[in-house]
Amino acid sequence: MFFEEIDRTIQSFFDDYPTRAEIPAYNELVVEWLPQLPGLHPQLVQAIALEHFFFFQKPEMWQSYMKKVQKQTLRPVSQQVYASWTCPRLFFGEIIDVSSPLYLKVRHAITGEEIFLRRETERVIPEGMMTYTYILPDGTLEDNHYLATSIFIFFAPEHKPVFEKFAKSHRADEQLLLWQALVANGYNGEEFTTFESNVLKHAEDFLVKHERDFKELRIVLEDYLVEERPGARKEAAIAAGAVRYANENGLIEPLQMTVKDMAEQFGVSASSLTKYYQDIMAYRS
């Protein structure tokens, strides 16, 4: 329950920010980055620009949000964790140990710092891959144990020289230069993660469990994932929204359950489910 609470705390920030007043500044950043990263899907550029905007350009947004969270938090262990969440920091480097079922051990490309980064899925991730994310202490209160805030991007080992060269001559906040170098090295987003397949698997497993056909929803969901590139901290949130869409639009034999029940079975909040249900509805319209 505690880890679900801190996951919700992070997700709520991304649901509520940037505010309407801050959107123009974010849009300016996206407009600046898009033409400089040809070959990357616009949704991916928007995602990496968003976290740069939040945590490098406008860290006061996060700090203001966390002050509100801390005032509303009663549980002592939660207060202790949130006190350490001053601002997510960028971490990119090489995966050096995958033996733990719960964590990936990662070495920072610039500083050499080694951390344990909480796994988000059970997918197989080999040693030697590179990763790029923003991190916060993961709530265990153990040294060097972190979680990813939102984007958690993996790169094939052939991109390691790009990170090494960047580390020798640039600061961490010069991310646009890193992404330009990755694009020049042939990166096009295909190693972004196995995000799409994980979403599909969550949806299929749920429907198989409830003896429903996945065929029609698969077509809709695959198109949505490829064309819209939705972002979520949990693939299950998108899968849950997709199943609700299928249930309410005749793609499957009706399931007799409430939105709350469906969300609980996927292990996500009803609000996250509804967000992606509405996104799919808008996409299909």
pLDDT tens digits, residue range 131-184? 999 999 998 888 999 999 988 998 878 899 999 999 888 887 789 999 999 999
Domain span including residue 180: 2-184
Interacting residues of 189 by C-beta distance below 8 A, sequence separation 6+: 39, 40, 41, 44
Q: How many residues does this entry show for the chain?
A: 285
Rounded-to-5 percentages of helix, strand, coil across the chain: 55, 15, 30
Q: Is residue 190 part of a domain?
A: no
pLDDT (tens digit per residue) in 76-113: 888 999 999 999 999 999 999 989 999 999 999 989 99
Give 233's pLDDT tier (boundaries 50, 70, 90): confident
Q: Are 237 and 266 in contact (CB under 8 A)?
A: yes
Domain annotation covers residue 279: yes
pTM: 0.68
Query: Cα 42 vs. chain centroid, distance in angstroms?
Result: 16
Of 237 and 173, which is predicted with more confidence?
237
Helices (H) then strands (E): counts for the chain: 12, 5
Give the span between the Cα atoms of 170 and 168, in whole angstroms: 6
Shared domain for 140 and 113, answered yes or no, is yes
**Total structural domains within the chain:** 2
Residue 238 lies in a domain: yes
pLDDT of amino acid 123? 65
For residue 55, pLDDT beyond 80: yes
CB atoms within 10 A of CB 8: 16
